[in-house]
Structure 1
Amino acid sequence: MPLNLGDTGYGSVAGPGLSSSGAAGSAETAALLVPELEEEDEGEQEWRPMSKEELEVIAGGPGWRRLRVYLVVLFWLAWLAMLATAVAIISTSPRPVATPLSWWRKSVFFQLQPDLVTGTPTGSSALCEQLSYLKSLGISALILRGLFEPSNATDSGERSGTLTQVQHLLGESDKAGLKVVLDVCDVQLFGGREGAETQDGWDATQNALRFWLGQGVGGFVICDTDGAYSEKSLLLWRGVLEEFRKEDEERIVVVKQMRERLPPLRVSSQQVNGTLVDVVLRSVLPASPRPLSAGQVAQAIETHLQAPEDTWLGWMVGEEGPHDLRKLLLVLLMTLPGTPVVQYEQLYPAQGGNGSESSEDKFKSRRSTVALFRSLSHNRAREEALVFGSFTFLPFNASFSNATLSSATSSPPLLAFLRSWGCVHFLVLLNAGSGPHSLDPAWAPHLPRAGVFVAGTAGDRLGAVSLDALVLRPREAVVVKLFEPGSYS
């Protein structure tokens, strides 16, 4: 039967889902499960990314504009400060200026024996075939000596057949890119000792000079004991040489110093400075009636190292020293400031120091000497410090006195000097003694302690080296290029 629920359902208590008003449909629309509502803290909002429009509004605000301006200004100020600092460092740092050098200042001279040209009918031809080889060794100029009798050089050459051979050699040398300088010491025509004060004597001198300059000779070597070594003669020579001067083809006058001191020319400094005499050729070893000992060689070297000269010097060995010091002297010639003059006997000695030396040992010795010379000449060609770098003598020990030389048990000191150009330093160490030498750590503390071997008489020194651990063997010379730690330039 029908139940009359009334307005309040099953009683006076409203059922779940029914409103108190008992409105129809309330039970149907109400949710059966009512979730509990979590109270949110006031001001706390759910995170969500900003939209493009919101970002544009905030980025365009005054705060962000000021920050961007400050960052741009700071960047350009820092860039300008670094640029100004770099310019200041470059402008204030002492830097060497490479002045153009004349050809003889950059050249390595090679002095030939007379019999290589005139000894045999085929001597000149055989020498001409070797010119390209000499050029590959780093030789730039040849010195021909002993070709003329102390009389009229042209007539003497014509009678003996020397003139034709010399002319052939001059032509082939020009093709090979080698300069040729004639050594005319003691030739009367060029000095005019007898009758040179007459007009005929001066005319003969000028004619002889013009003849050889026309053949392509690059200059002449005279001795300071010749009559040509005078103000009047050298002024005459300079005038003739200027007639044949071309661009990059200057003709030079070399004075070989035979006396202990070079006699001064009685002319003004304006005339002498780079005009009358171009090169003063000096011997490293002094003249001696007996072969020099190792101590005497070391003393002669030390004397030259402590006496810097303003004149541009050429260096040659001169007297023969001990055979086992031949390579050491070669290293010295190629690293001293000035023009090195290497003699034929240094690269191709007639015999070794020991008469019982086999032919194979002689061949190996010559080959190692030539290899050392090639290394030195090529390094000199590409390293500015070895050509016109500054020179600094480094006293390792006390000066080698005569009293020390008289002691049979004494050993020559370790000799050293530095060739510097800008930040590049070459250290040359020479041990002429019979015992090993090591470097004292307190010696030359301002020098970098690390370097790399460039050349050495032993031929087995390669790679990096620390000066603190370097020990030089007896009769050894080395060339070390120094560098700061972490720098290998």
Structure 2
Amino acid sequence: MPLNVGDTGYGSVAGQGLSSSGAAGSSETDALLVPELGEEGEREQEWRPMSKEELEESAGGPAWRRLRCYLVVLFWLAWFAMLATAVAIIVTSPRPVATPLTWWQKSVFFQLQHNLFTGTPPAGSGAVGALCDHLAYLKSLGISALILSGLFGPSNATESWERSGTLPQVQHLLSKSDKVGLKVVLDVCDVQPFGAREDVETKEAWDATQHTLRFWLGQGVAGFLMCDTDAAYTEKSLMLWRGVLEEFSREDEERIVVVKQTRELLPLLRVSGQQLNVTLVDVVLRSVLPASPRPLSARQVTDAIETHLQTPEDTWLGWMVGGKAPSDLRRLLLVLLMTLPGTPVVKYDQLYPGQGGNGSQYSDSTYNFKSRHSTVALFSSLSHNRAREEALVFGNFTFLPFNVTSNMSSSSPPPLLAFLRSWGCVHFLVLLNAGPEPQGLDPNWAPRLPEAGVFVASTAMDRLGAVNLGTLALRPREAAVVKLFEPGSYS
């Protein structure tokens, strides 16, 4: 018997939302969940993602456009603020200011042997011609100026040169030197025609001095070297010299006066009666070692060096070895000359030992060609490093007392000497061991300096590459130049 429930028919179930008609909720295909009605009886809008067109329309609205403008302006303001801060830090940070140096303050001087122009073997016209042929080679080694010594006797005058036939040789040498870019300074120590005599200061004597100065300056001489014992070393005569030299000086070619100091105290002559005192002497040439009839011991050499390293100076100095030293210290002294602040003056027999022929302390018959070549290579390395490294030209000088020497006796081994040449963030450490034993640095050495470095030069020319100063030990009679840098830096 069919079951009928009301009017629905078989199998139909009447309930809420369901009906037998085709209205909503009356079919099995209708949704089972019906959206709820809002407060006003309307169905709530169904959520769905925005299309591309709708996103572009919304992003282009005034609110988003204003926000993007604010962000762009904020970015550029922050960028310019950081740039201005960096520039301000660079401008206000302390940095070294290089004083413009003249040609003679940046030069390496080379003093020729005394018998070159005396006519004694192996000198003479052939020696002068050989020197002219080697001028370009000397220039390539880093030499910038020559000091010609032994040209004049105590009473030589220009007229006697003309009569002897030596004058054309010197003129030829001056001409060749100018062509290769070498300056020439004449050594006129104890030569009367270059200064008034002590007993007679007449107008004729001053006129003769001016005539002699003008003659040689006209030949292209860049300056003169006198001794502090000369009669011309007075304020009155130097004022005369200065006036003549200024006539021939140009902005790029200043003529100079060099005074060789032979006495313990040297009066620094200055122009008086002016608001700004001007020195009448451009370079004071000083010897590192004292005069001695016999070679000094290693201890005496070290004491002399240490004395000069700890003496502050207020004038521009030129340095030469001067006194006699053991032959095994020649390269150590060469390193010292080329790294001290001032103008180095290297003598012919220092660069070419055994060829001086003038009784030099460096003349040694066993000094072979290989050793001479090594000495020239060391000099060339030092001169070229000095030319391109500001710390070795403009740099400040600091003596580093690595070893306490006050309680040492004369019989104790010489201490290890060291000094620092600094310019900005660049530091060059120069180490000198004149003793017979290897020496390392004191463990408490300058703790604020970097311990890492790289070898620039050494006396044996066999030190290369990086080095740690904590483990560095100098061999006997060795000097080394080390460029310091922070670990991980290779500048």
Q: Distance in 2 between matches of 1:356 and 1:136?
A: 27
Q: Distance in 2 between matches of 1:40 and 1:336?
A: 97
1:165 Cα deviation after fit: 1.2
1:228 Cα deviation after fit: 0.7
Structure 1 residue 417 corresponds to structure 2 residue 396 = no
Going by fraction, where is helix more abundant, 1 or 2?
Answer: 1
Q: Report if aligned partners of 1:111, 1:344 keep a CA contact under 8 Å in 2.
A: yes
Structure 2 residue identity aligned to 1:404 = S
Instruction: Return 82-91 or 226-235, whichever deviates more.
Output: 82-91
Secondary structure at the counterpart of residue 469 of structure 1 = coil
Distance 1:313 1:319, change over 3 A: same
Q: Distance in 2 between matches of 1:256 and 1:283?
A: 9
Secondary structure at the counterpart of residue 452 of structure 1 = strand
Q: Distance in 1 between matches of 2:279 and 2:9?
A: 136
Q: Deviations over 1:215-254 (max 9, x none)?
A: 1100000000000100111011111111111231111000
Distance 1:14 1:264, change over 3 A: closer
Q: Deviations over 1:187-211 (max 9, x none)?
A: 1121322554011111111111111
Structure 1 residue 278 corresponds to structure 2 residue 294 = no
Secondary structure at the counterpart of residue 331 of structure 1 = helix
Q: Report if aligned partners of 1:124, 1:169 keep a CA contact under 8 Å in 2.
A: yes
Q: Distance in 2 between matches of 1:290 and 1:271?
A: 48
Secondary structure at the counterpart of residue 295 of structure 1 = helix
Structure 1 residue 391 corresponds to structure 2 residue 392 = no
Identity over aligned pairs, percent: 72
Structure 2 gaps, min length 5: 13-17, 38-43, 356-360
Distance 1:177 1:446, change over 3 A: same
Residue pairs, 1:402-481, within 5 angstroms: 404-405=409-410, 407=411, 410-481=412-483
Q: Report if aligned partners of 1:282, 1:316 keep a CA contact under 8 Å in 2.
A: yes
1:135 is aligned, of 136, 139, 157, to 139
1:257 Cα deviation after fit: 0.2
Q: Distance in 2 between matches of 1:272 and 1:188?
A: 32
Give the structure-1-normalised TM-score. 0.87
2:243 is aligned, of 215, 239, 244, to 239
Structure 1 gaps, min length 5: 1-7
For these two proteins, the number of residue pairs brought into alignment is 464
Secondary structure at the counterpart of residue 106 of structure 1 = coil
Residue in 1 aligned with 2:92?
92
Q: Report if aligned partners of 1:196, 1:202 keep a CA contact under 8 Å in 2.
A: no
Residue pairs, 1:309-458, within 5 angstroms: 309-350=313-354, 357=366, 362-399=368-405, 404-405=409-410, 407=411, 410-458=412-460
Residue in 2 aligned with 1:51?
52
Q: Distance in 1 between matches of 2:195 and 2:260?
A: 14
Q: Distance in 2 between matches of 1:89 and 1:371?
A: 43
Give the structure-2-normalised TM-score. 0.86
Distance 1:104 1:266, change over 3 A: closer
Instruction: Return 141-150 or 361-370, whichever deviates more.
Output: 361-370
Secondary structure at the counterpart of residue 340 of structure 1 = strand
1:46 Cα deviation after fit: 7.1
1:59 Cα deviation after fit: 5.0
Distance 1:312 1:264, change over 3 A: closer
Q: Deviations over 1:123-155 (max 9, x none)?
A: 111100000000000000000011111014313
Distance 1:267 1:475, change over 3 A: same
Distance 1:218 1:448, change over 3 A: same
1:411 Cα deviation after fit: 1.4
RMSD between aligned alpha carbons?
3.0
Residue pairs, 1:147-158, within 5 angstroms: 147-158=151-162
Secondary structure at the counterpart of residue 470 of structure 2 = helix
Distance 1:143 1:467, change over 3 A: same
Q: Deviations over 1:436-481 (max 9, x none)?
A: 1212342101112222211111212112222222221111111111
Q: Report if aligned partners of 1:116, 1:127 keep a CA contact under 8 Å in 2.
A: no
